[in-house]
Every structure is written in C-alpha cells, then in structure tokens.
C-alpha cells in the first residue's frame, strides 16, 4: 500500500507542477484536489506502516 501511495503522490506532484505553473491552466483545480487527496493518503500510509512495525 505504501508503494501505491508513493506512486500516487509522485503523480500528484507532477500534476501539481503542471497545473500550478500555468502550463495546463484548465487542470489547476483538478491538480490541487489530487495533490491534497494523495498527500493525505500518503500520510495515512506512513502512519499505518509505522504502527504495524
């Protein structure tokens, strides 16, 4: 699950850079939403992985 969270946060960061930088102005709102959703999923995965150990 942590592997998926890392993959998705990388995708969200790339989408965020493209959206926030003005390259894809129409996708800015979607990029912001995806960025925060995957950031939350990443943090939850880190917490869950730390609790298991």
Q: Are 15 and 34 in contact (CB under 8 A)?
A: yes
Look at residue 46 in the predicted model and tell me its pLDDT: 86
Element (H, E) at 1: none
Which alpha helices (DSSP H) does the chain contain, by range? 2-20, 28-52
Q: Are 18 and 31 in contact (CB under 8 A)?
A: yes
Look at residue 26 in the predicted model and tell me its pLDDT: 59
User: Going residue by residue through the chain (53 aa), what tens digit of pLDDT does each one get?
Assistant: 678 788 888 887 887 776 665 655 656 677 788 888 888 988 888 888 777 65
CA atoms of 37 and 34, how far apart (whole Å):
5
Nearest to 31 by CA among 43, 23, 2: 23
Look at residue 19 in the predicted model and tell me its pLDDT: 61
The model's pTM is 0.48
């Amino acid at each position: 699950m942590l592997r998926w969270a890392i993959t998705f946060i990388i995708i969200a960061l790339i989408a965020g850079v493209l959206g926030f930088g003005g390259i894809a102005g129409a996708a800015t709102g979607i990029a912001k939403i995806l960025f925060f959703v995957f950031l939350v999923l990443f943090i939850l995965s880190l917490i869950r992985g730390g609790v298991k150990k």
